[in-house]
Amino acid sequence: MKKIIAIGILLSVCSLACAQADSLACLKFHTGTFAYRNDSLGLIHINRTNKRQEEINKEKGIITKFRIKWTGACSYELKQVWSNSKKQRKQNGAVNKVIITSATSDSYQFSCACKNIEEGKNNTGIVVLLTQ
């Protein structure tokens, strides 16, 4: 019986350690400069601070600003607050929930419950760290 309890405790500690490692991997992406490719807009540059995120599409001249709220080490919400694009402005006030599904040393893969996803468009992608 003692062996079963010891094994149970060991498995619990191991699973907590693994979850913590994933969380620690996400922390490096809370602030910095990043880039990702959007299906309809092309290459997007991201400037992220603790509470704000600005997305810039240099090709189309579109700037969109968000408030970012980290709901966990690997999950956050983006609330759009401004855009210079008429089409994007329709999303002002919309909250998009993002989950980092995996992380490496210089990128992360995400899944998004996004309000502005059109039929047939991806709501997953990869964000690459440019500078921290």
List % helix, strand, coil for the chain (3-state, nearest 5).
25, 50, 30
| Domain harbouring 30, CATH code | 2.40.128.280
pLDDT computed for residue 101 by the predictor: 95
What is the value of pTM for the model shown?
0.80
Residue-wise pLDDT tens digits, 11-63:
444 443 344 448 899 999 999 999 999 887 899 999 999 999 999 999 999 99
Residue-wise pLDDT tens digits, 60-109:
999 999 999 999 999 999 999 999 999 999 999 999 999 999 999 999 99
CA–CA dist 29, 79 (Å, integer): 18
- The domain containing residue 39 runs over which residues? 2-131
CA–CA dist 75, 98 (Å, integer): 6
Number of other residues whose CB lies within 10 A of the CB of residue 100: 20
CA–CA dist 77, 95 (Å, integer): 6
Q: How many residues does the chain have?
A: 132
pLDDT computed for residue 22 by the predictor: 80
What total of structural domains would you count in the chain? 1
